[in-house]
Amino acid sequence: MKRSILVLTLTAVLALTLGTAAVAGPALDTILKKGELTVGLSGNQPPLNAKNKAGKVIGMDVALAELIAMNMGVKLKLAVMPFAKLLPALQAGKVDMVISGMTMTPNRNLKVAFVGPYYTSGKGVITKRAQVAALQDAKGLDQPKFRVAALKNSTSQEMVEKAAPKAKLITTGSYDEALKMLLNDKVDVIVADFPFCALTAFRYSDKGLTAGDVRLSFEPLGIAMTEDTLLINWMRNFMIMIEGSGALDELRNYWFNEDVWMKELPKN
């Protein structure tokens, strides 16, 4: 990933950082005083976030979190936990933000604030090639014979429950768990974020996996945080800056279109 992203963004939002410290709100004040930004993420949603062979979390979410922390002038701490525990951790004050491929839904937005989107995703399906013809449309899942895996407390789970109530839904704590079940024929299909489906099908084509080529929904991914007017204002201005400078496009291109980083990922 280009170092110019960091330099360009730092210059663009330096005035925001300097102007924030003296009048920070409760959440932002806590971050600045401790000199550390704690970001919650699942650590298993590639290309957004995933652990490499050395156990380090990488991905677009991590790169974005690094930019945020750097421009706040604080250190970054990553808190890895199951996806279903991310928002409760945010509400309990255990993390300052959640950046983990989280869709900005109206229901979630009733509980926490969101800034974004930093990427627009959608749902996809991944299965073995023998099943793909029947699963191109979400309605094709709506049969009792299909065992469908989805991340617990995710919009994928909600979609299966609404679009395919006849299917046998199996919720998992992580994408890794769902993938192992698919490879071992314990489920027939995974419903997940479209980028994960496309990436996984590419990585495991030798195992007979394939992904549907159509997004089944519109899902704007955002950064979740507690209610703090100044923190939200800072984040909105920050996002405008990195979008306008082209830095956000560079991040998207690297993590979604380049394959160099994929070599760092372990295989199940």
Percent over 70 (pLDDT), the chain: 87
Same domain for 111 and 238: yes
Domain count within the chain: 2
Same domain for 190 and 163: yes
Name the domain boundary from 188, 211, 234. Answer: 211
User: Sorting pLDDT into bands at 50, 70 and 90, what band is 135?
Assistant: low
Same domain for 65 and 32: yes
Cβ neighbors of 56 (< 8 A, separation 6 or more) are none
pTM for this predicted structure: 0.82
Distance CA(190)–CA(125), nearest Å, equals 6
Distance CA(45)–CA(59), nearest Å, equals 9
CATH number at residue 150: 3.40.190.10
What's the domain range around 179? 123-211
Same domain for 173 and 134: yes
Instruction: Fill in the DSSP letter of residue 110.
Output: T
Distance CA(78)–CA(37), nearest Å, equals 8
Distance CA(86)–CA(97), nearest Å, equals 9
CA distances from 37 to 27, 90, 194, 240, 249 (A): 10, 12, 29, 20, 23
pLDDT over 50 at 110, yes or no: yes
pLDDT of residue 139: 62
Same domain for 178 and 55: no
Same domain for 128 and 109: no
pLDDT of residue 19: 47
- The DSSP bridge pattern shows strands 147-151 and 168-172 to be parallel
Tokens of 14: 């330096």
Same domain for 244 and 170: no
Same domain for 227 and 194: no
Enclosing H/E stretch for 115: strand 113-121
Same domain for 138 and 114: no
Same domain for 260 and 244: yes
